[in-house]
Chains A and B, each alone.
Chain A
Amino acid sequence: MLFVIKLSPSQSWDLTGGRRARRQRTRTRKRGESMRYMLLLYSAEGAGPAEGSSEQAAEMQRWFAYTQELADAGVLLGGEPLHPISTATTVQVSEGSTVTTDGPFAETKEVLGGFYMIDVDDLDAATGWAAKVPTAFYGSVEVRPVLEIGELS
C-alpha cells in the first residue's frame, strides 16, 4: 500500500509561493547557498505494511514523525502522497493531437508513490534525509536537484 499522509494545517506549505519567493532570491546559485532537492519515493505497490495491519499504524506514525522532523529542521518545502498507479493517466501530444491513455508512463515494478521537496545545503544533506524516509526501508528514494530557472540562461 502507498503511504497516506494528511498534512495538518501547520504542516501545509504553499509550494507555488515558496517557489516564487525563491526564484526572486536565486537567479544563479551561489556558493554556500542552499539547494532544493526533490525526494521521489518509489516502491513496489504492496511492498509496505498491509492495509489495516498493526504495522500500518506504526508506519503512519513513522510518516508523521518524519514529516515533522523535516518541518522542525526547517528544510521542508512540501510533499504529497499520491494515489495508487491504477489511478494514473498518461498524456502525450503528438503532431497536434492529444493522446490520453490509462496507466503510468512506464510499466515498472517500483512506482512513484509520493514526494518531498526539501531545501538543504548540499547533496550529502539531501541523501541524509532521503535515508530516513520510510519508503527507503522497502523501496528507494531518488534524489533530484531542482533546476533553478536562473540556471537556464
Chain B
Amino acid sequence: MNWITNYVRPRINSIFSRREVPENLWHKCDECGTMLFHRELSDNQNVCTNCDHHMHITPRDRFTALFDGGVFNEVAVPEPIADPLKFKDQKKYPDRMKAAQKKTDEKEAMLVAAGEIGRTPIVAAAQDFSFMGGSMGMYVGNAIIAAAEEAVKLGRPLVLFSAAGGARMQEGILSLMQMPRTTVAVQMLKEAGLPYIVVLTHPTTGGVTASYAMLGDVHISEPNALICFAGPRVIEQTIREKLPEGFQRAEYLLDHGMLDRVISRTEMRDELIKIIRMMMQLPPQIVGDLPAPEEGEEAANAPVDAAASEEAAQ
C-alpha cells in the first residue's frame, strides 16, 4: 500500500500499545446478536442487557461480583499427580493442559474461595467451563473436597457453581472416581449440618450432574442453562425422535421437579443471601446504608472487619 499504512501506523500503534485498551470493546450477544459495550456487559455479569441471555463468566469475575466489595480469600487445593494415565489422543494431555492454562490464565477448572456475601460468611466454589469444558478430573474433585473441609472447619455454608461438560476423559477412571469422592465431600457438609447450595449454570452435564451437582439442599439454576446426564444429541441418536422445545433446559427441569428455583445471575447474590441467612438462622440482611458507627467504634472494628469497612469505603 503506502508508507502511511506500512510504516507510520505500526509506529503509532507501538507507541500507544502500552495503553491498556481492551482488544474487543464490543461483544456480540450469542443469542440476539446485539452489540454490547464490554464495560456494560461486565457490569451486568455477562448477561445481555437486551435479551437477558446468560453468557459465560469466569469464576474469578463471578466471585468479584458475588463477594462483598469483591474481596475473597482463595482456598488452597491439594495438587493431584499430573497426567496419571499418560493419556494421549491426538494431543498429549499435558499439552492440552498447558493450552487451557494459557487460554484461561488459571491453573485448573475450579476456583474455591472464602468470604462474605451480604456480611454472611460462606465458602464458594465455581467451575470454569472455559478450562477444558470445566471437566471434572482429580483437581476438581480435590477442590470440592477442600471446599467442603474449609466450610466444615469454619462452620459456613458451601455455595457451588457448577459448569461442565462432564468428566475429564484424559484422566479416565480417575475422573469417574470423582463421583464418589465428591459425594463424600457433600456428606461431610450434611453431617456438619451446613447448607449446601448448588447453582447450576450452563452447561452442567454428565458425571457432574450425576454427583455433587444434584445432591444440594437447594438447587438454583441460571435461566436456560442446559442441565442433563446424557446430552440431547446422544438421546436423539438413541431414541430416533425429535426432542421437545426447551428439553433439558433449566425451566424444563424446574417443571419436572429437579430444581427449586431459576434465578437470573444479576439477582443471584440477593437470592443466595436470603436463603442462606434463613438456613443459618441469621436475621435478615440489612438492605441499604448501614447507620454511621458511633464515635470510636469504627477504629475498634477496623482490624477485624477489614472486608466490610472496605466495602463501606467504596
Answer whether A and B are interacting partners: no
Residues of A within 8 A of B (CB): none
